[in-house]
Amino acid sequence: MTRTITIEPVTRIEGHAKVTVHLDDGGKVRQARLHINEFRGFEKFCEGRMFYEMPQITERICGICPVSHHLASAKACDDILGVQIPRTAALLRELMHMGQTIQSHSMHFFELAGPDLLLGFDAPPAKRNVLGLASANPELALKAVQLRRFGQDIIARVGDRRIHPTFAVPGGVNKALRVEDRDAMLAEIPRMIGYVQEGLAIMRSWIDAHRQEMDSFASFPTAYMGMIGPQGALELYDGSIRVVDARRQHMFDFDGRRYLEHVAEHVEPWSYLKFPYLRSLGWPQGVYRVGPLGRLNAAQSMATPLAQKEYQAFHQLCGGQTVQGSLYYHLARLIEDLYALERAGQILEDRDVLGTDLRASGDVSRPEGVGVIEAPRGTLWHHYTVDEHGQLVKVNLIVATGNNNYAMSRAVEEVARAYLVGDITEGHLNRIEAAIRAYDPCLSCSTHAVGSMPLEVAVYDARGAEVLRKARYGGL
Amino acid sequence: MPGKPRIATDWLAGCAGCHMSLLDMDERLLDIAQAVELTSSPITDLKHPPEEGVDVGILEGCINNSATEQVARTMRARCRILVALGDCAVFGGVPTMRNSATCAQALRRAYVESESTVDGRVPDDPELARMQNARAVGQVVDVDINIPGCPPPPEAILYVLSELAAGRKPRLSGKLLDWH
């Protein structure tokens, strides 16, 4: 008897998704798929808008990382103007981006994925969330809230609003930083670094206690991609893009503006989320991973001292072999969180951050503009084509989570094969979700053109009759 | 309402920014968590509102396909007071910009014509939701309370929840409507 298991919606991730697992006659997993189930159509409905509206419109793609879209869009607009933005503007944009990295990474570790690690994959689903965490460890929950608050606070001090700021404009930014805001942010950084280090200590002790699970859970080889700065150091705001193979051997670097020469997207009929791959290797040989693990594998170092120490320890974890298990994303994410705090401190100590030369002026001088940035979840591209007045003719977006689409689907398949044998428990199904959660997918982003993941599993026999349904309904 | 109000939340077609604004209550969130009982929500592992119902249902985002319509109808059927949270839920918001094109045109642009797509096709698996024109929540089910904003400020959300917990009908005014 063949059976199909459906998990819908997947929770504690951003957006809408479902998982289907097909079992063969022997009860073995024949196929497992992650379906992304929504489409909003930004690429179409932005046609005809003026290019300079895009930093405001496209941040509505995602409320968790609006700053990524805001800044990638502004960079595409800079490109259309053909200008180099003033140093102060670049520093302030990067500072805002660090604020976003801190809030997004911190929220994911403590509020979304943390309950799996801290309360357990098999903890009762009614308790396995941030409120359960708050009851179990109120002191830690308060620190988690404050860490996220600090990241949001940076965004608001720089750009006036925590969510959907109106700050970056073509050619620069529209507001200088006030001395009192700089001082207030600087004063809090040491305490916030301490909180992230506590998170790192929790993660490391979890790794020690679950070593086998770390190394076997959704572990598979792929290439990796991430932005780099000088000397190959990890970079989040501006730099070239590096690709390394599954053994971290350097493949090639490229200017992100020339992405069409290097990256292509494949479409499967069962998902609204496309599957990017390396054009030179083709689909599916050219699949790669992005985001914290992708970046730590692509980069040769990290540019701040505490993060650099963590980076070195990270690469010694697997005896010098490439760190490839999906659960290591959590550790990589916290190391980046630490980097973002240190880097925010460096920017705030830079005298130019208080400068008032904020914007380079220019007219539409190129028919196309590409902006690329490392969003919390990975490499993000905005590509606009305009007419001579700056009215948009075409819009193409490759969104961070999309780059990990193959990896998330593969992770689902690996975990389904490993755990869906014999009796299927709620904890087993949660592990499938946890495999997706490791990638911290943002499905609103991915379904700008997508959408949300809650969980329901139904098992049907070959004639379509329902034989088993497991779901998580409300009622704490 | 006697006892702790039971709350369920979900997101439809939107950006999650309104739920982020909810989290932007920061430390106050931990107090609110004591004052209400949170059931199903994207931040918990409870997938659907409990069948026995909740006092307050909160929906973010608009309705733009068969799946989001079903989520909205289930929430309406299982909650006493339905709150539309944020511009997309209240009047449709940014996703309604898609209505200026046909669904077919928008799908074709994204999955066939896009510069980076190779051998594209429009996804059509029966597991996927069927697309519809984007609509406000109130165009599909009855809404009791609207909280506008993109996103609404956390103070507005806190005010509405506090008033409901005290058994009063919230009346948003002044700064609570000034989300810009």
* DSSP string computed for A3-48: EEEEE-S--SSBSBEEEEEEE-TTS-EEEEEEEE-----HHHHTTT
- In the CATH hierarchy, which top-level class contains the domain B6-96+132-176? alpha beta
**For A200-223, what is the mean pLDDT?**
95
Q: How far apart are the first and last CA of chain A?
A: 36
| pLDDT of amino acid A146 | 96
Percent of chain A with pLDDT over 90: 74
Report the C-alpha gap between A181 and B150 in whole angstroms: 25
Report the C-alpha gap between A244 and A299 in whole angstroms: 9
| pLDDT of amino acid A467 | 43
Instruction: Report residue A166's pLDDT band, with 50, 70 and 90 as the boundaries.
Output: very high
| pTM greater than 0.90 | yes
Q: Indicate which of A21, A127, A131, A279 best probes the interface with B, i.e. most B CBs within 10 Å of its own CB.
A: A131
Contacts of B68 in chain A (CB under 8 A): 16, 38, 451
A242-246, A273-277, A298-302, A463-467: least confident range? A463-467
Cβ of A35 within 8 Å of Cβ of B128? The answer is yes
**For B114-122, what is the mean pLDDT?**
94
What is the dihedral sign for C-alpha A358, A364, A366, A370?
positive
| pLDDT of amino acid A424 | 82
| pLDDT of amino acid A89 | 98
Cβ of B10 within 8 Å of Cβ of A452? The answer is yes
Give the closest residue to A236 by CA, choosing from A304, A295, A171, A150: A295
Burial A205-235, CB ≥16 within 10 A → b, else e: ebbeeeeeebbebbbeebbbbbbbbeebbbb
Q: Where are the beta strands (DSSP E) in A110-201?
A: 168-169, 172-173
Contacts of A473 in chain B (CB under 8 A): 40, 46-51
Domain boundaries, chain B: 6-96+132-176
| pLDDT of amino acid A228 | 98
**For A417-439, what is the mean pLDDT?**
89
| pLDDT of amino acid A10 | 85
Mean pLDDT rounded to a whole number for chain B: 93
Instruction: Report residue A6's pLDDT band, with 50, 70 and 90 as the boundaries.
Output: confident
| pLDDT of amino acid A132 | 87
**For A402-422, what is the mean pLDDT?**
92
Contacts of A151 in chain B (CB under 8 A): none
* In the predicted structure, residue A466 carries a pLDDT above the cut 50: no
* In the predicted structure, residue A398 carries a pLDDT above the cut 90: yes
Contacts of A31 in chain B (CB under 8 A): none
Instruction: Report residue A422's pLDDT band, with 50, 70 and 90 as the boundaries.
Output: confident
A302-311, A444-453, B1-10, B109-118: least confident range? A444-453
Instruction: Report residue B128's pLDDT band, with 50, 70 and 90 as the boundaries.
Output: confident
**For B146-162, what is the mean pLDDT?**
96
Cβ of A125 within 8 Å of Cβ of B45? The answer is yes
* In the predicted structure, residue A125 carries a pLDDT above the cut 90: no
Percent of chain B with pLDDT over 70: 99
Of residues B55 and A130, more confidently modeled = B55
A374, β-bridge pairs: A379
Of residues A16 and A347, more confidently modeled = A347
Contacts of A63 in chain B (CB under 8 A): 14-21, 151
| pLDDT of amino acid A182 | 98
Residues 15-74 of B with CB under 8 A from A: 15-21, 23-24, 26-27, 29-30, 33, 37-40, 42-52, 54, 64-65, 67-68
Distances (CA, A) of A369 to A76, A233, A365, A392: 5, 26, 10, 11
A223-237, A374-388, B2-16: least confident range? B2-16
Report the C-alpha gap between B159 and B29 in whole angstroms: 13
Phi/psi region, residue A268 (left: phi>0; alpha: psi -120 to 50; beta: rest), is: beta
Percent of chain A with pLDDT over 70: 93
**For A75-100, what is the mean pLDDT?**
98
| pLDDT of amino acid A468 | 44
Give the nearest chain B residue to A36 (CA atoms): B128
Nearest to A40 among B13, B37, B115 (CB): B13
> pLDDT tens for residues A292-324?
999 999 999 999 999 999 999 999 998 889 999
Instruction: Report residue A207's pLDDT band, with 50, 70 and 90 as the boundaries.
Output: very high
| pLDDT of amino acid B57 | 98
| pLDDT of amino acid A456 | 40
| pLDDT of amino acid A4 | 85
* In the predicted structure, residue B156 carries a pLDDT above the cut 50: yes
* In the predicted structure, residue A453 carries a pLDDT above the cut 80: no
Contacts of B23 in chain A (CB under 8 A): 107, 111, 148
Whether omega for the bond prior to residue A269 falls within 30 degrees of 0, making it cis, is: no
Instruction: Report residue A447's pLDDT band, with 50, 70 and 90 as the boundaries.
Output: low
* In the predicted structure, residue A224 carries a pLDDT above the cut 60: yes
| pLDDT of amino acid B68 | 94
| pLDDT of amino acid A464 | 44
| pLDDT of amino acid B131 | 87
> pLDDT tens for residues A94-112?
999 999 999 999 999 988 8
Report the C-alpha gap between A289 and A275 in whole angstroms: 11
Query: How far does the CA of residue B53 sit from the closest CA of chain A (Å)?
Result: 9
Mean pLDDT rounded to a whole number for chain A: 91
**For A48-76, what is the mean pLDDT?**
96
